[in-house]
Amino acid sequence: MKVIKVKNYEELSRTAATIIAGVILSKPDCILGLATGSSPVGTYDQLAAMYEEGILDFSHVKSVNLDEYVGLDGSNDQSYRYFMNTNLFDHVNIDKNKTYVPNGLEEDSDKACADYNEIIRSVGGIDIQLLGIGGNGHIGFNEPGEAFEKETHCVDLTESTIKANARFFESMDEVPKQAYTMGIKNIMAAKKILLVATGSAKADALYKSLYGPITPNVPASILQLHQDVTVVADEDALRLIKEKGLL
């Protein structure tokens, strides 16, 4: 595992974007595994800037995203499809028909998940998977305690996530209660993994994931077993690791 320490969010975003750009340049028809959340927003900005400058061409790139809320249409501004369109896809020359997120409108969860696994397989697997990390060590919607060997599956959102999301919706009925997420097995099958972490709220999870025991209680700890992981993290996120003299 390679850990790159950066000073701030801008440097983190530039570093992560450069790594992804390297994959696109060496394999123009690569498959990007993408994430939502606040951590990768700056990375997407940087990738869009590289496209604007003529450094990157996304015309042959395909992408698969980690997760999507069940019940949300891609036009809903809380959906992860909407997030990806507005934060990246609308700003580069990627063919949106070749960008995939789980189908949140598919009510048959077995079908939604099997279809998504098939999409990942049919595009030939993921060349580089970008990940954020939750304060509890989750990756995608793989929360502590879930089996490592799962592929795409449906998860029940925790009460606290549902409550936190409630402010974005007009009524409680509209707030998603479930999500479809790639499983740890899909993530571990990616050729390369790039994890970005920023801020002190990630320090504990990052320490446990990188240096603690490998356990489903800290989902990201499984990454210790992957052969090609790069972590880009700022000083706050690396604080505990540094305090323990590990970096």
Contact footprint for ligand F6R (CB under 6 A): 35-39, 66-67, 132-134, 138-141
In whole angstroms, how close is the CB of 26 to ligand F6R at the nearest point? 25
* Encoded amino acid at 204, one letter: D
In whole angstroms, how close is the CB of 116 to ligand F6R at the nearest point? 14
Residue nearest to ligand F6R (CB): 132
DSSP state of 142: B
Two tokens, residue 231: 């972590």
Which amino acids are annotated catalytic? 67, 136, 138, 143
CA 187 to CA 129: how far, in whole Å? 7
Q: Which is nearer to ligand F6R, 13 or 61 (CB)?
A: 13
Q: Which is nearer to ligand F6R, 57 or 76 (CB)?
A: 76
CA 82 to CA 230: how far, in whole Å? 27
CA 162 to chain centroid? 20
Q: Which of 137, 120, 238, 109 lies closest to 185, judged by CA?
A: 120
The SS3 assignment for 107 reads: coil
Q: Which is nearer to ligand F6R, 45 or 57 (CB)?
A: 45
In whole angstroms, how close is the CB of 14 to ligand F6R at the nearest point? 17
Length of the chain: 247
